[in-house]
Amino acid sequence: MMKDWWAKFGCFLTGWNYQILGGCTEASRKQLKKYSSAILILVILWSFIGYSFAERYVGAPIWGRILTAFIFVVIIVQIERQIILTVGRSKWLSWFRVAIAFIMAILGSSILDQIIFKDDIQKKMIQIVDRQVNEQLSGRLTIIDKKLGELQVEIDSLDKKNLILYEEISKQPTIKTVSQTITKIQFRQGDGSFTTRPQTTISTTPIPNPKVKETEINEQNLEVFRKQKEDYTQKKIKAEASLRQELKSKQGFLEELNAIIEILRERSVALFFYSILFFFLMFLELFVVASKTKDTKSDYDLVVEHQLSQKVKTLNQLVK
């Protein structure tokens, strides 16, 4: 019963037909076990890689990590089936699988190295951040200094304008406004009748100098400019710390990959370990290809090829 369950699971992984397998010899079952074991190793490995990638670089929740691992597994199984389910042997497909294995080995070893060399990467990232700070800090300070200079020009201009206004206000704190009022007044004439005559009244009223209002507006603008200047001054003081924090917060997969490349260039031991991991993944990826191309055909393969040849003969006869 256990063997039957494993055979069904192997058929599910490889895409083999369980009914055809039932009529085959033990050689086909052993071949199925080899394929299934190779795929299972890749499934376990790439599910771990996918889960770790989603956790470390995507920041996905637990369900997102599991989904990513599942997607990686599905891709791996489908790639291996391209080789296993090929009827006969295809050199072109085998070379294509070798190319895919090379790419997957690079991706897998890069992701695994970033997990294994985590502490070394963090140390290297500190050095990289220091280098980036030295390169970018001067440009950021130049922008801040330019803005501070513009604000200082605005402040000086308003201060000068207010001094002139205050001087004028001190000389003339109020101004006089003249208003003219015309009223009609009745006068008695000599014959006892009344007549209406206009009477003009001119009055002078002192009011505050309107330039006082202008100085108040200028003071409000000065307060805004001084606040902005203070903010930019604080930015200048904290420019290095804020730039360093900004660079640290934006570290992602590519930044860590650059750190890995620098580590491999500087340390021969790290390069040696990376090479071992790369070739290990490369050979794992080529397990199925090697089994398909080098092993003797099992009776399952012969049955499938026989069915195909018989079907081709039947179709050719129908055409004739």
pLDDT at residue 298, as a whole number: 75
Residue closest to 230 by CA, chosen among 295, 155, 164, 160:
155
| The three-state (H, E, C) secondary structure of 194-234, written as one string | EEEEEEEEEEEEEEECCHHHHHHHHHHHHHHHHHHHHHHHH
pLDDT in tens, 195-207: 676 666 666 666 6
Residue with tokens 């890069």: 110
Element holding 118 (H helix, E strand)? helix 118-171
Query: Do 205 and 179 touch, CB atoms closer than 8 A?
Result: yes
The Cα 153–Cα 252 span in angstroms is: 42
For 7-12, what is the mean pLDDT?
84
- Confidence check: pLDDT of 1 > 50: no
CA angle 212, 218, 224 (to 5 degrees): 145
Residue in 44, 41, 49 with CA at minimum distance from that of residue 116:
49
Give the tens place of pLDDT for each residue, 31-87.
888 888 888 888 888 898 889 888 877 778 899 999 999 999 998 888 888 777 776
Highest mean pLDDT among 117-121, 142-146, 307-311: 142-146
Query: Which pLDDT band holds residue 295 (cuts at 50, 70, 90)?
Result: low
Of 13, 96, 85, whose CA–CA distance to 285 is shortest?
A: 96
pLDDT at 192: 61
For tokens 């001094």, the residue is 163
pLDDT in tens, 221-260: 889 888 988 988 888 888 888 877 877 776 677 777 788 8
What distance in Å separates the CA atoms of residue 52 and residue 64, rounded to the nearest whole number? 11
pLDDT digits (tens, 9 = 90+) for 167-195: 877 777 776 666 667 676 666 666 666 66
Q: Per residue in 121-143, pLDDT tens?
A: 788 888 888 887 888 888 888 88
Contact yes or no for 7/19 (Cβ under 8 A):
no
Record the tokens describing residue 272, joined without a space. Answer: 């040696």
